[in-house]
Structure 1
């Protein structure tokens, strides 16, 4: 959690999305990098309490701080959490990271050529993951929720483009693996997300943001691969067995 006595650089290192929030308050994260939040706000005649409130809200929403044990949630509630927290993270964080990667590559690409590849991989990851979550939200998740909430309707046509839930699940798992490969490329290109000593605050925000995105993405796919998808296939199997009696 950000504090008034932390430097802008420290805040961004622990909460990369803070860079965008600070910019909304006209706090230049490079110019004020070495200043504490208190000092930066005093320079600009800002309310440090108001800035902290925005930073705290962003941290709570982005991490899904209210989330309970996934095994205690119904599949429908788990889907709501995945969409509200993890899909939101993909939609908000990846475009921000692509923008940062573009800025850093343009500024430091001659000094660190790998940054151009980082930009390319981040752009590819964004395109693939946005399409991935679109398919989950429009096709797979509604079906799983229907099996959970109204099972007798789940096998009615039309709009069913698969005969068993295992088919789209297999495709989504394969796409998860593709996303993990792209993130592994980013980890390698960035030396495990360690910025050089000469990196500016924007550079630091990019690497910190990528590191945190990887951690959250791993939790995202764990919830789907290990919790939601197995339960969906089990529900469908039980429903079909019941219908066969």
Structure 2
């Protein structure tokens, strides 16, 4: 997926709808600045910013900053435990917290606009809500309980925790990972694998595309924990 470049001809004059069509992640930027990319998709970026009282330079900078690059897996595998945890929190936990509110917003807009005529949308939105409701406290449990214990153990400090062996909270987190993946399996069934129908509006299309991206990030997130971080932690405890 190509990023939006400053070399694009007069970014400020491009239509908001075209920017979203070229890269759906632009919709996330527009949502953050309260810019209507659906019904107002025909406006130029400059006009849309003016209408929403958003700073054009800030919006342009956010669009140009869209990027999916990151370190290669072999680099991550070589990180010390504390640095790996930093990466997981800064990259994947931050991603969940940034995109979860957008998924809720998009799915609820779909319910309001199409829920009565498309019976699959309400259960879809409910499942999105349930997924987010499970993931947010999951992150907190990792950040407040498990990760500090792993950091302390890696530093050779005594871990005074109520959960006993470090394998106990690791097993609990892995179980919650499995539950999240099962929810995505149900979402695939409801959405024809995130393929919007031909009549779908822009919000509908952006919601499905965001959810597909969210799933890809979550699977990488879970992989780093289940297959790299947790085995390292268990090896430290042996």
Instruction: Report the TM-score, using the length of structure 2 for normalisation.
Output: 0.84
Alignment map for 1:61-76 (pairs within 5 Å)? 63=68, 65-67=69-71, 69-76=75-82
Distance 1:179 1:31 in 2: 33
2:158 to 154, 165, 170: 154
| Match of residue 222 from structure 2 | 221
| Match of residue 41 from structure 1 | 46
Q: 1:81 to 1:202 in 2, by over 3 A?
A: same
How far 1:222 sits from its partner (Å)? 0.3
| Match of residue 123 from structure 1 | 129
Q: Secondary structure at the match of 1:199?
A: coil
How far 1:100 sits from its partner (Å)? 1.1
Distance 1:131 1:202 in 2: 27
Q: 1:233 to 1:48 in 2, by over 3 A?
A: same
Structure 1 runs (4+) deviating above 4 angstroms are 13-17, 23-26, 42-50
| Match of residue 243 from structure 1 | none
Q: For residues 140-198 of structure 1, what are the alpha-carbon distances to aligned partners after superposition, in whole Å with 9 as ceiling and x for unaligned?
A: 0001111112x1x233x3xx022211111111000000000111111211111111122
1:99 to 105, 108, 116: 105
Distance 2:107 2:48 in 1: 29
Q: 1:53 to 1:120 in 2, by over 3 A?
A: same
Q: For residues 6-47 of structure 1, what are the alpha-carbon distances to aligned partners after superposition, in whole Å with 9 as ceiling and x for unaligned?
A: 764454356545324224556420134356xxx332576688
Q: 1:111 to 1:168 in 2, by over 3 A?
A: same
Instruction: Report the TM-score, using the length of structure 1 for normalisation.
Output: 0.82
Aligned residues: 225
Instruction: Name whichever of 74-83 and 193-202 sits farther off.
Output: 193-202
Instruction: Name whichever of 115-124 and 44-53 sits farther off.
Output: 44-53
Q: 1:222 to 1:6 in 2, by over 3 A?
A: farther
Matched, 1:18 2:26: yes
Q: 1:171 to 1:26 in 2, by over 3 A?
A: closer
Matched, 1:134 2:140: yes
Alignment map for 1:78-93 (pairs within 5 Å)? 78-93=84-99
| Match of residue 170 from structure 1 | 171
Distance 2:194 2:77 in 1: 32
How far 1:79 sits from its partner (Å)? 0.5
Distance 1:71 1:101 in 2: 36
How far 1:130 sits from its partner (Å)? 0.7
* Structure 2 unmatched runs, 5+: none
Distance 1:10 1:221 in 2: 33
Distance 2:33 2:70 in 1: 27
Matched, 1:230 2:238: no
Matched, 1:195 2:203: no
How far 1:110 sits from its partner (Å)? 1.9
Q: Secondary structure at the match of 2:195?
A: coil
